Structure 1
Amino acid sequence: MIESTVTETASGASLAERAAADGTSFVLATFVDLDGKPCAKLVPAAALDRAQTDGVGFAGFAAGGTGQVPSDPDLIARPDPDSYVALPFVRPGLAMVQCDPHVEGEPWPYAPRIILRRMCERLATEGRSLRVGAECEYFLVERRDDGTIVPADAADRSARPCYDARDLTRMYEHLTDVSTALNTLGWDNYANDHEDGNGQFEQNFAHADALTTADRVIAFRYLVRMIAERRGMVATFMPKPFSGLTGSGMHLHVSLWAGERALFPDPDDPRGLGLSELAYGFVGGVLGHAPALLALLTPTVNSFKRTGAATPSSGATWTPTRATYGGNDRTHLVRVPDGDRVEIRVVDGAANPYLAIAGLIAAGLDGVDAKLDPGPVGGPGRPGGIGTTPVPGAAGGELPPTLLHAVEAFVADPVITGALAAAGAGGDVPAYYAARRRAEFLDWHSQVGGWEIDRYLTAF
């Protein structure tokens, strides 16, 4: 079991003060590119005042999907002290802080954290805020010398491993190390379970405001991977690492608030889900914009092998394939477990949390402003994760079958592209994002794999 000496610091403390209080020696000054890659520099504690004042410089093009070319000026990452987390569970004296990238003194519009911050500011001008909880699923695997992967626990091979106490216990050290870390950070880890796939787990932490939750997802992924590596395992948030097993989601629970007043509940809801008309408008917006949203919520080629998967041996994919909503029914894209919140179940482990939440804000607000009606509450979904209620705007209720289809829906949807343009002038962020997703699809599409050799080599 890991131990920590992390201490709480008062809100508003400088980065250097927070580091000093925890005995931190080095801080990972981190930002995330449009593809979800965490990029960082290791900053000594003695240089933190300078980092907070001047920022931390990066060659943006070298980092990845930042909207830059080699000739562009440096991307300056400005640390947000409120995102600081001490990570002695990874290395003694290590911490992480999320940064807001700037170029020549201006917030960089291609930065996902800037995009989400702007969408949250839009909500704030209307006297509202979004609270978000994230369910992060992942697999623990071993990568063999030939490049193939298998579950890290060789004994975890039953057809229905979900919640199996024995499979859970064999990963006790890893899971409890992560849990201890989350609770030491004050994130309130309240459950840890074995999920539906062999080697698949989920560890839950409490909801928070939208930006804080997105920051925590990034730190959580890093933390889980590093703790797994200590035991020779690979922790992967890849949506569908195994053809025959359930994929990994990142279900997002969202609710709108006005100060401390929840805007979603209505105990007198005639439809029986306990939701207000405002909440139904939000749901209608998410469902109506679902095809375009998938470019943000399921943003990889591999994502669509999860959403379009055949039913595995465990009996269900747990992944929605239609734009539907319903009550406490996990087959729907939007599930309403209670009137306080709605759960967006199509989001997967590859989603960039900043972009996913920004897109949901845009879609939901459009539904609220236009008073979109999501239609009648859907009945029980059929086995395999297929709902029943089609929604206007999502043709027949069907979701895009591939990343390329989702990108085309995204490009055609001004509300969702508007979310990526929320950070202001300085380039066409939606077009840049769409081009990267198209390039990923076409790169995959140009490869010849084993399935094709097996199917076509002697077929003609």
Structure 2
Amino acid sequence: MLNSLEQKVFLDLSYEELEARNLELKAERKEGKTQDYFAQKVLKILKDEKKIKAVMLCFTDIEGKLLNLDYDKTFFINSHDNLTFDGSSVRGFSTQDKSDLRLQVDFSSLRFLPSCVFGPGKVMMFASAFTQDGKPYESDFRQKLHSLCDDLYAKDKTIVNVAPEIEGFLLDGIDSEQNFEALGKFELVTTGGYFNSLPQDKLRKFIDAVAEIKRCMGFENEKDHPEVAPSQFELNYKYTKALEAADQIQIYKLICRQVAKLMGCTASFLPKPVMNINGSGMHMNISLETAGRNIFFEKGSEISESGKKFATSILYYAKDLCLILNSSVNAYRRLDPKFEAPNEIKISSSDRSAMIRIPIGNEKSSRIEIRSVAPDCNPYLMIFAVVSIGVSKQDDKEMSKILNKREKLPGNIYDALRYFKASGTLKAILGDVSCEKFAEIKEMAANRCPKDLGCKVKVSEIIYHHEVTNQVLWYNF
């Protein structure tokens, strides 16, 4: 059987060809080509390219976990407008009595995949969940973010540009998070840290491999390096539109996990897997562009009045937003001020304890950097909530009062839940049903963990984490 599979010839492009094809598609997304244009183009590619065997279709649950289905190419071509799945099998989605949901394909999201990571003959696309009667599903935040971006552009040609800085840890052993209870600890692959990882050690080889795959998938790499903590990494890439940025976060984490597994390791995006060293964050660099001009730039100033209003809105609702930015029990360990924790609700150009930093910038790069985001959040939900609040019309005089206060973000998930559930603003933005679902599943995980975090990472905060847990772990309680 295996020999017969090996005899088949599937699509297996070089890195150079992959990069060229993926950058061409990315350029067309940036130009704003229509969904009809992409649908025609993609279906033609699938029909003409005989060596493509399957479409990997990805979507994301309410907690931010990436889910995927492989569709046979011929079936996909003939049935792409009628793809259904069991929503009751997805945490936080539909109930058993209303289980069937539809997947609406975003043809513009096509990516050609390196066979060394994904297997030969596959391409990737993203999808959003819709109800049985064809309406956007209330708990699918990719679709909500898509609609928000379309509305902003239709209003005055405003584009939201986003560049995440995603940190993670390379841990020794496969599935080390799922096996944490048996292992009792995590093993780091190196004690090297910022700037001093040896060129051929395991961490550096991992970073180099991930960087090559990101490049061929059109990420447009900028800087790759070990981070401050031992065995920690960060690979940065060019900013892009908000929806594509959220898709890239999901792809980035998937690439890291698969490369790590091929090396006999685990790429972990737990915010604080190991005590007494720095945790992992996902700093979010955001700017608004209107009619081709970065409206966060103002000559002679750190940031424009528009940028300051956007940032002030985020600070004003910081406690309400905290559960979205830090959606796991483990995330609140990272907000420990002893390790450069960005837990102070303030703006600063240099103080790294500030929730929002204003980096040095020019007409192209002026932006705000939201530093209090954990890498295990739902990127679609997080960007949707932050942008919705940032662009909303508010009482500027009332909101500016936050700039004179010195408050901190909630220090545990229970306080964050309390602020989240009491927020009328978030209910108006996210919808009552989605707020209730999100709070309920976060509370379920929190209730399985000690309220007092203490000074030791507990088994429960790892194995019940939304990116780690599975049916076996969840029901072994």
Is contact 1:322-1:399 (8 Å) kept?
yes
Structure 2 CA distance for partners of 1:167 and 1:149, relative to 1, 3 Å: farther
Report the Cα distance in structure 2 between the residues aligned to 1:348 and 1:18, rounded to whole angstroms. Answer: 37
Name 2:100's counterpart in structure 1.
Answer: 74
Is contact 2:170-2:203 (8 Å) kept?
no
Superposed CA deviations along residues 218-239 of structure 1, whole A, max 9, x for unmatched, are: 1111111111111111111111
Name 1:189's counterpart in structure 2.
Answer: 221
Is contact 1:252-1:344 (8 Å) kept?
yes
Structure 2 CA distance for partners of 1:167 and 1:415, relative to 1, 3 Å: farther
Deviation at 1:391, TM superposition (A): 3.8
Name 2:438's counterpart in structure 1.
Answer: 433
Deviation at 1:405, TM superposition (A): 1.0
- 1:400-439 map, 5 Å: 400-421=410-431, 428-439=433-444
Name 2:148's counterpart in structure 1.
Answer: 119
Structure 2 CA distance for partners of 1:257 and 1:450, relative to 1, 3 Å: closer
- The answer on 1:27 being equivalent to 2:55 is yes
Name 1:147's counterpart in structure 2.
Answer: 183
Report the Cα distance in structure 2 between the residues aligned to 1:115 and 1:198, rounded to whole angstroms. Answer: 38
Superposed CA deviations along residues 140-181 of structure 1, whole A, max 9, x for unmatched, are: 10246732343442xx225xx212142775433322221111
- Secondary structure (helix, strand or coil) at the match of 2:230 reads coil
Amino acid at match of 1:212: E
Is contact 1:289-1:416 (8 Å) kept?
no
Amino acid at match of 1:174: F
Name 1:221's counterpart in structure 2.
Answer: 253
Is contact 1:16-1:45 (8 Å) kept?
no
- Secondary structure (helix, strand or coil) at the match of 2:218 reads coil
Report the Cα distance in structure 2 between the residues aligned to 1:186 and 1:121, rounded to whole angstroms. Answer: 23
Amino acid at match of 2:266: V
Is contact 1:189-1:206 (8 Å) kept?
yes
Amino acid at match of 2:67: C
- The answer on 1:109 being equivalent to 2:138 is yes
- The answer on 1:157 being equivalent to 2:191 is yes
Amino acid at match of 1:284: T
Name 1:358's counterpart in structure 2.
Answer: 384
Report the Cα distance in structure 2 between the residues aligned to 1:399 and 1:328, rounded to whole angstroms. Answer: 19
Report the Cα distance in structure 1 between the residues aligned to 2:62 and 2:53, rounded to whole angstroms. Answer: 29
- 1:81-92 map, 5 Å: 81-88=107-114, 89-90=116-117, 91-92=119-120
Is contact 2:88-2:99 (8 Å) kept?
no
- The answer on 1:284 being equivalent to 2:312 is yes
Is contact 1:137-1:248 (8 Å) kept?
yes
- 1:193-342 map, 5 Å: 193-269=225-301, 273=302, 275-307=303-335, 309=336, 311=338, 317-339=339-361, 340-342=366-368
Deviation at 1:23, TM superposition (A): 4.3
Name 1:180's counterpart in structure 2.
Answer: 212
Deviation at 1:365, TM superposition (A): 1.7
Name 1:16's counterpart in structure 2.
Answer: 43
Superposed CA deviations along residues 173-200 of structure 1, whole A, max 9, x for unmatched, are: 3222211111112211111110011111
Structure 2 CA distance for partners of 1:448 and 1:248, relative to 1, 3 Å: closer
Name 2:464's counterpart in structure 1.
Answer: none
Amino acid at match of 1:320: P
Report the Cα distance in structure 2 between the residues aligned to 1:168 and 1:345, rounded to whole angstroms. Answer: 31
Report the Cα distance in structure 2 between the residues aligned to 1:417 and 1:437, rounded to whole angstroms. Answer: 16
Deviation at 1:450, TM superposition (A): 10
Amino acid at match of 1:238: L
More divergent stretch after superposition (322-331 vs 284-293): 322-331
| Residue of 373, 376, 379 corresponding to 1:347 | 373
Structure 2 CA distance for partners of 1:45 and 1:399, relative to 1, 3 Å: same
Name 2:162's counterpart in structure 1.
Answer: 132
Is contact 1:151-1:198 (8 Å) kept?
no
Higher fraction of helix: 2
Deviation at 1:447, TM superposition (A): 11
- Secondary structure (helix, strand or coil) at the match of 1:150 reads coil
Deviation at 1:408, TM superposition (A): 1.5
Is contact 2:275-2:456 (8 Å) kept?
no
Structure 2 CA distance for partners of 1:138 and 1:72, relative to 1, 3 Å: same
- Secondary structure (helix, strand or coil) at the match of 2:98 reads coil
Report the Cα distance in structure 2 between the residues aligned to 1:18 and 1:168, rounded to whole angstroms. Answer: 39
Report the Cα distance in structure 2 between the residues aligned to 1:124 and 1:418, rounded to whole angstroms. Answer: 21
- Secondary structure (helix, strand or coil) at the match of 2:69 reads strand
Deviation at 1:74, TM superposition (A): 1.0
Report the Cα distance in structure 2 between the residues aligned to 1:110 and 1:192, rounded to whole angstroms. Answer: 34
Deviation at 1:419, TM superposition (A): 2.7
Is contact 1:391-1:397 (8 Å) kept?
no
Amino acid at match of 2:90: A
- Secondary structure (helix, strand or coil) at the match of 2:256 reads helix
- Secondary structure (helix, strand or coil) at the match of 1:71 reads helix
Structure 2 CA distance for partners of 1:57 and 1:126, relative to 1, 3 Å: same
More divergent stretch after superposition (120-129 vs 105-114): 120-129
Share of identical aligned residues, percent?
A: 22
Where in structure 1 are there 5+ consecutive unaligned residues? 312-316, 377-389, 422-426, 454-460
- Secondary structure (helix, strand or coil) at the match of 2:270 reads coil
Structure 2 CA distance for partners of 1:169 and 1:450, relative to 1, 3 Å: closer
TM score, norm. by length of structure 1: 0.83
Report the Cα distance in structure 2 between the residues aligned to 1:3 and 1:231, rounded to whole angstroms. Answer: 21
Superposed CA deviations along residues 297-349 of structure 1, whole A, max 9, x for unmatched, are: 11111110111x263xxxxx222121011114423111111351010000011
Report the Cα distance in structure 1 between the residues aligned to 2:332 and 2:440, rounded to whole angstroms. Answer: 18
Name 1:39's counterpart in structure 2.
Answer: 67
